[in-house]
């Protein structure tokens, strides 16, 4: 049994009420399906099986848009968690697009101590260039309202922000827009290529580097420790001997995750959901612990970093990067991460400019 | 000469790492902030959850 595990649950699979142009699931026909929903039987199996998988479990509710599963689904889940004996602690986290987070949801999630994160790409014009509903309407206003609503419960909220060709030339606007949204913390994601190469919003590498340099300068000048930006925090933590926060930046980080889609199909990570080749089992046929243990070969492959990375001075910060992105961007898990050069330039810039402040 | 002000960001992150390392040295379980995949920073919830 592992010490800790993050069990990612996709209660409605890839179903989503938004149609973001850069979504890595955009090519999947199931994304628009309006019927996909996890059954009570699958939910029960996940919760009970998780107690045999690890001592402490973080349930990370993901999607698609997990709130589409309805509040009753989450109520049942919490009841099952209470009935099940876990060795260590259990926590619930949710990654929502923020468009459905009304007072009712806020009260429910807050009173049950969920950690909530959402997505916003900057001010309205930048966010709504890509984060749109099925009928093309922007999501910015709803998300900002949801952030305010959630913060009224006394909780913090992190945001994920994607760097696209629509935002990359406007770092100041993006930074100010995210601060103005009320977010408590932020993580910028590189816009990555989809399997079919369909993403049309990829910025150029040189633009991305300049974007991150500008964002760092703005953040460092503000000097607000209560607004962490994960990309830079990872680098600064490494300077003091700490481990990076996110899975993708740690060698072996993939091993702490497993993802289950609505029908019970299990994947090493939510990024692989919908790719049958990477399905490692179904929870209706085997226990989660058996599936995880039987898939050790796949996890090993995902965690085996390219030899070039092993010699890199930034391996403690980057960890080789996300295995899924190495696969999609380079063709195999052994490929160097497609954003390697960007990451190096950003790391070196942050280290150089923060060094003057290191005690 | 005006004294250079220390960065609050740097100080906060250094303290966070030092706390984690000392807890680990004491045989305690390391803080769980390295286990989240989305932007739900566990480190934002240290006071409440640890």
B2 — pLDDT class (breaks 50, 70, 90): low
Q: What is the structure's pLDDT at B45?
A: 37
Domains of chain A: 2-304 (3.20.20.70)
User: Does residue A145 have a pLDDT over 60?
Assistant: yes
Structure ipTM over 0.85, yes or no: no
User: Does residue B29 have a pLDDT over 50?
Assistant: no
Mean pLDDT, residues A130-134 taken together: 91
Residues from chain B contacting residue A91 (CB–CB below 8 Å): 32, 49
Which among A196-210, A252-266, A279-293, B6-20 has the top mean pLDDT? A279-293
Q: Mutate one of B40, B42, B48, B49 to test the A interface: name it (highest A CB count within 10 A).
A: B40
Q: How far is A134 from chain B (nearest CA, A)?
A: 24
> Under an 8 A CB cutoff, do A58 and B9 touch?
no
Residues from chain A contacting residue B33 (CB–CB below 8 Å): 245
Q: What is the structure's pLDDT at B50?
A: 29
The answer to whether B15 faces chain A, any CB pair under 8 Å, is: no
Q: State percent of chain A over pLDDT 70.
A: 93
**C-alpha dihedral, A91 to A326 to A128 to A115, nearest 10°:** 10
Mean pLDDT, residues A307-324 taken together: 88
Q: How far apart are CA A110 and CA A178, in angstroms?
A: 22
| Residues in CB range of A70: below 8 A, 6 or more apart | none
The answer to whether A237 faces chain B, any CB pair under 8 Å, is: yes
Do residues A233 and B13 lie in contact, with contact meaning Cβ atoms separated by under 8 Å? yes
Sole residue written with tokens 């992190």:
A158
State pTM to two decimals: 0.89
Residues from chain B contacting residue A240 (CB–CB below 8 Å): 13-14, 17-18
> Under an 8 A CB cutoff, do B37 and A242 touch?
no
Which residue of chain A is at minimal alpha-carbon distance from B42? A115
């Amino acid at each position: 049994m592992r010490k800790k595990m993050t069990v990612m649950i996709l209660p409605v699979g890839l179903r989503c009420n938004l149609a973001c142009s850069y979504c890595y699931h955009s090519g999947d026909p199931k994304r628009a399906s309006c019927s996909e929903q996890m059954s009570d039987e699958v939910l029960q199996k996940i919760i009970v099986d998780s107690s045999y998988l690890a001592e402490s479990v973080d349930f990370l509710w993901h999607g698609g848009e997990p709130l589409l599963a309805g509040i009753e689904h989450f109520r049942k889940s919490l009841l099952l968690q209470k009935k099940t004996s876990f060795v260590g602690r259990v926590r619930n986290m949710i990654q929502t697009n923020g468009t459905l987070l009304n007072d009712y949801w806020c009260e429910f999630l807050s009173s049950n101590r969920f950690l909530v994160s959402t997505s916003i790409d900057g001010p309205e014009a930048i966010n709504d260039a890509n984060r749109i509903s099925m009928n093309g309407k922007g999501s910015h206003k709803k998300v900002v309202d949801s952030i305010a609503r959630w913060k009224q419960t006394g909780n913090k909220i992190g945001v994920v922000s994607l760097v696209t060709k629509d935002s990359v030339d406007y770092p100041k606007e993006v930074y100010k827009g995210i601060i103005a949204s009320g977010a408590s913390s932020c993580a910028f994601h590189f816009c990555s290529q989809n399997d079919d190469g369909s993403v049309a919003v990829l910025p150029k590498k040189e633009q991305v580097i300049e974007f991150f340099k500008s964002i760092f300068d703005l953040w460092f000048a503000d000097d607000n420790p209560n607004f962490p930006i994960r990309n830079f925090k990872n680098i600064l933590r490494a300077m003091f001997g700490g481990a990076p926060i996110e899975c993708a930046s740690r060698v072996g980080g993939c091993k702490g995750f497993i993802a289950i889609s609505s029908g019970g199909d299990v994947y090493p990570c939510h990024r692989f959901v919908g790719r049958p080749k990477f399905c490692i089992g179904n929870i209706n046929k085997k226990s989660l612990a058996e599936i995880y243990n039987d898939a050790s070969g796949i996890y090993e492959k995902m965690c085996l970093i390219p030899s070039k990375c092993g010699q890199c001075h930034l391996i403690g910060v980057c960890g080789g990067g996300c295995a899924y992105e190495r696969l999609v961007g380079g063709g195999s898990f052994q490929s160097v991460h497609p954003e390697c050069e960007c990451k190096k330039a950003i790391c070196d810039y942050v280290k150089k400019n923060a060094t003057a402040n290191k005690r | 000469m005006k004294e250079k002000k220390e960065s609050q960001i740097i100080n906060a992150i250094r303290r966070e790492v030092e706390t984690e390392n000392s807890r680990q040295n004491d045989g305690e379980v390391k803080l769980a902030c390295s286990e989240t995949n989305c932007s739900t920073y566990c480190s934002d919830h240290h006071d409440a959850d640890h």
